[in-house]
Amino acid sequence: MSDAIKLTPPLSDADVESLRIGDRVLITGAIYTGRDAAHKRLTDLIQAGKHLPFEIQGQIIYYVGPSPAKPGRAVGAAGPTTSYRMDAYAPELMRFGLKGMIGKGARNQDVKDAMATFKAVYFAAIGGAGALMAQTIKNAEIIAYEDLGPEAIRRLEVEEFPIIVVNDVRGNDLYEEGVKRYAL
């Protein structure tokens, strides 16, 4: 397995274009959480011509709703949720500068097309490894929609958060390639 690529958001077009499916990436810095309900609110704001609660240019959204933090910890368990539920909203956020998405499971063609058009990339984290993933999350702060509880938008400070590139800007898909390679 090749060495991991280390990245810190905000990501540039060049950062994104350099990534290829199967690349292992370690993120250090700030990423934002968002899942179903938060995505709906963000795209509603865009449609109403209003500002988003954080500067989205170059940023990465992690599809996660962490479990509550025990005292002295940043988060509880914090693995990815299934991404297809965000497919309806993701292209609009990429149009406004979102460069990365972290989740699990395949994306639809609209999302893949938007990744090519707006230069963005989709990463997978290990689903169901929430206790392990949480070890790389050093701080968590709710920045919007506290009323959504686990679905509130949090700014996470991460250190060498491990992910893998599933969809790149060239239209490649690691899920499709993986199945092709190992199907009997």
User: Which distant-in-sequence residues (6+ apart) come within 8 Å of 20 by Cβ?
Assistant: 165, 168, 170, 172
C-beta of 45 vs 148, nearer to other proteins: 148
Cis peptide bond N-terminal to 10, omega within 30: yes
C-beta of 45 vs 132, nearer to other proteins: 132
Is 131 a residue that touches other proteins (CB under 8 A)? yes
C-beta of 67 vs 96, nearer to other proteins: 67
DSSP 4: P
Q: According to CB under 8 A, which residues from 85 to 104 bind other proteins?
A: 104
Question: What is the per-residue burial (b if ≥16 Cβ within 10 Å, else e) of 80-102?
Answer: bbebeebbebbbebbeebbbbbb
- Start-to-end CA distance of the chain, whole Å, equals 23
Catalytic hit among 35, 39, 107, 112: 39
By annotation, the residues acting in catalysis are: 39
Give the residues lining the site for other proteins (CB under 8 A): 1, 36-37, 64-70, 73, 76-79, 81-82, 84, 104-106, 124, 126-132, 134-135, 148-151, 164, 166, 174-175, 177-184
